[in-house]
Structure 1
Amino acid sequence: MPTIPTLLRGLCCATMLASAAASAQFKPAAAAGLQPAQLAIVVNDDEANSVEIGEYYRQARNIPARNVVHVRIPGKPHKLDAEQFRQLKEQIDGQLGADIQAVLMVWTAPYAVECNSITAAYTMGFDAALCQKPCGPGKPSAYYNTASARPQAEFGMRLSMLLPTESVEQAKALIGRGQVSGFSTPAASAYYLVTSEQARNSRAPFFPRAMVLPQKKLTIKNLHADSLEDAKDIMVYQTGMARVAKLDTLQFLPGALADHLTSVGGDLLGDAQMSSLRWLEAGATASYGTVSEPCNYWQKFPNSTVLLQHYLRGASAIEAYWRSVAWPGQGVFIGEPLAAPYRGAAR
């Protein structure tokens, strides 16, 4: 990941964007509340796994049958061009009711629209200018660090996420973790790692400070290490590495969020760096990664304080992740969107 000479200048201004969130972390707020009836499921009828997993998810989360959208995307392309995406979005939007606040695309690919992620292109609109200078600043998200439970109604933004379909068995396990996350609040830890890959530590200034939050049964831990090993209580794991080692030694709790700041973690089926899919395979419930070279602007990745504070206030995984990224144009959100391990605790 190239460093950016303008990063320090950007931080002078951009820090203002996050400083309020950092200084106000963990203050009481009303719990967010995306409901199953507000979520649409988009199924690719040209992919058998998408059809099976989509119906499984609908039943597991009691999502109304009217919320299921059917499209056809032959060949599982990793990337769409702008015109292909325009047609796909028209098909999806034409089948949605006004009450739909978020969309779950049940497939692994496509995950990019030219240099944009497909989730950002869908939620915020395709940004052609970004592809002229992908290593420059991104388009700000109006949803960043808001408390809105109705993004479509208030901002004209339907949140979106991918539910990967490479394995039916793994997808069902992921869905199960999301469901279980709402049953009780476990004793857990949130891990934030400052690593030896200095260019990938750009969001470290926004790591929450180490503390114990008794009401949430959560311990926040800050480490200087390249990997975490043998931890069995993970609710959050955020780091900066091109490839994260020792994932097979870890145990993620239901509803866990995990991501790594690197160039192309969102190239889900690529192999240049570790795919964000590895987090889900290791047991996390949701993750995030960029599909094209973003440079190391922290604004293009989940702000750790913002992500944690919203999750602890009862936001679902899709709400908390979307609220945490200031410039999400290149970032793809993946996982089980309705996971909300702290929703009950927030009441």
Structure 2
Amino acid sequence: MMSAREGLKRIRQLSIFLALILFSTAFSVQVQAQTRISLPKTGFTPEDIAVIINDDDPLSRQIGNYYQQARHIPEDNIIRLRFSSERSVMTPQEFQQLKTTIDRLTPDHVQAYAIAWTSPYRVGCMSLTSALAFGFDEKYCSTECAPTAPSPYFNAPSQYPATDYKLRPAMMLAGTSFEQVKALIDRGIASDHSFPKGQAYLLSTSDKARNNRAMSYAQTAKGLAGIFSLQILETNFISDQKDILFYFTGIIRVPMLETLSFLPGALADHLTSFGGMLTDSPQMSSLRWLEAGATASYGTVVEPCSYPQKFPSPAVAMFHYASGATAIEAYWKSVAWPGQGTFIGEPLAKPFAPLLREISPGRYELTIFSPRAGRLRIEKSLSAAGPFKLHSRQQSIRRGKNLIHFRFNEKSDGYLKLQWY
């Protein structure tokens, strides 16, 4: 005969089991309803990213495998190579052999690459990330302080660079240990749809040779007013700030990083010659930003001669990020001449991508973050193929964060299509 204690235990187990069933059913119904509501795509998805792993490097395998699992990257999007990672610089000939394999293994639908190692970070006179995007080509280099070939992806509206421009932007999941890169990946995931209320710090420093982005700061602040809280500071560094979303500066080394707290999804970089020399820079490596808590950064691997076009434009990076783009898209679109620069961080971080959730049966809340004022149009159709007609009157979208509420009845409305412009 069952004791009273055992009976109570069984009742509790049954209650938990029933609760799980009810939760699973409710979640399934909610997910099914949301699949009938389509939102515009604002940035890359896991299906758009291929992860490149060096199977001869245990750390690369560990990083690549974790990233695939954490971001649910399809198995077909995993590219495995074997090569020596003992040197930071790869010859163009060595790279071309790998690039031939990468091109052969990359599914046609893939739009970008996540690179699961820190070294090598350079191919001849180009960064590894740009060599993967454009192929090795010396027109993207400069050995005599000259301009380089421009990127057609600069400030582009396209979400399909491989399709539209025949290039796949790349970003390195960089770090000196698995723990560091895991923390980076986890920050990127935590940033998704978080709509952080952080500060943008644009520093005008005393380093005249590296302060040339400062001339655009006033226009940046004007263009992004009401979207981000932005501070232009005439100082060489900040300290003890706990709300950093963007940090752009120009200096050889950035002091006091250990006193700062970066929000998940933060972008940060310093304009200097050799920040992109990740493991052996005579200046400050861009890795220091990731170690301090930023989610993505950028630096050049060879002497760029202080052309601002070879570094991120804060205004362009912040605008595309605010539009819901991922970190890799926002950063890549912000550099006009990226041939000598390497992009590092968690590619799929998307803190300002739209978020749809059901707040009560049949009632939905859509969070939209927008860098410009516009209109929201909601259309419905009894068929997924259409035709669609207006579901409700259009609503205004203001700059910054918007909360939109609407009702949806699967039986009477069928399918909804939401668009903003």
Q: What's the TM-score, normalizing by structure 1?
A: 0.88
Say if 2:369 is the partner of 1:346: yes
Provide the rounded CA distance (Å) in 2 between the counterparts of 1:131 and 1:186.
37
Structure 1 match to 2:137: 127
Q: Which amino acid letter does the alignment assign opposite residue 266 of structure 1?
A: G
Aligned-pair identity in percent equals 49
Post-superposition shift, 1:213?
A: 5.1
Question: Residue 243 of structure 1 is aligned with which of 234, 253, 257?
Answer: 253
Q: Which amino acid letter does the alignment assign opposite residue 109 of structure 1?
A: S
Structure 1 match to 2:234: 224
1:108-127 matches, within 5 Å, as 108-127=118-137
Question: Residue 312 of structure 1 is aligned with which of 322, 340, 350?
Answer: 322
Spell out, residue by residue over 1:130-171, the C-alpha distance to the aligned partner (whole angstroms, 9 max, x if none). Answer: 556352101100000001000000000111111114210111
Question: Residue 299 of structure 1 is aligned with which of 288, 309, 329?
Answer: 309
The structure having more radius of gyration, on CA atoms, is 2
Say if 2:194 is the partner of 1:184: yes
SS in structure 2 of the partner of residue 66 of structure 1: helix
Structure 1 match to 2:387: none
Spell out, residue by residue over 1:171-201, the C-alpha distance to the aligned partner (whole angstroms, 9 max, x if none). Answer: 1100010001014212110100000001111
Structure 2 match to 1:22: none
CA contact (8 A) 1:53 1:165 kept: no
Please identify which structure carries the higher strand content.
2
Structure 1 match to 2:156: 146
Structure 1 match to 2:65: 55
Q: What's the TM-score, normalizing by structure 2?
A: 0.73
1:2-81 matches, within 5 Å, as 32-81=42-91
Provide the rounded CA distance (Å) in 2 between the counterparts of 1:134 and 1:263.
14
Provide the rounded CA distance (Å) in 1 between the counterparts of 2:216 and 2:119.
31
Say if 2:229 is the partner of 1:206: no
CA contact (8 A) 2:44 2:159 kept: yes
Q: Which amino acid letter does the alignment assign opposite residue 201 of structure 1?
A: N
Say if 2:110 is the partner of 1:87: no
Structure 2 match to 1:96: 106
Number of matched pairs? 316
CA contact (8 A) 1:161 1:337 kept: yes
Structure 1 match to 2:174: 164
Provide the rounded CA distance (Å) in 2 between the counterparts of 1:70 and 1:275.
27
Structure 2 match to 1:278: 288
SS in structure 1 of the partner of residue 347 of structure 2: coil
Gaps of 5+ in 2: 1-39, 355-367, 371-421
Provide the rounded CA distance (Å) in 2 between the counterparts of 1:34 and 1:287.
18
- Pick which of 283-292 and 183-192 moved more: 183-192
CA contact (8 A) 1:39 1:67 kept: yes
Provide the rounded CA distance (Å) in 1 between the counterparts of 2:304 and 2:353.
33
SS in structure 2 of the partner of residue 94 of structure 1: helix
SS in structure 2 of the partner of residue 209 of structure 1: helix
Change in 2 beyond 3 A, CA 1:37/1:131: closer
Q: Which amino acid letter does the alignment assign opposite residue 327 of structure 2?
A: A
- Pick which of 336-345 and 255-264 moved more: 336-345
- Pick which of 67-76 and 229-238 moved more: 67-76
Gaps of 5+ in 1: 1-29
Q: Which amino acid letter does the alignment assign opposite residue 369 of structure 2?
A: A
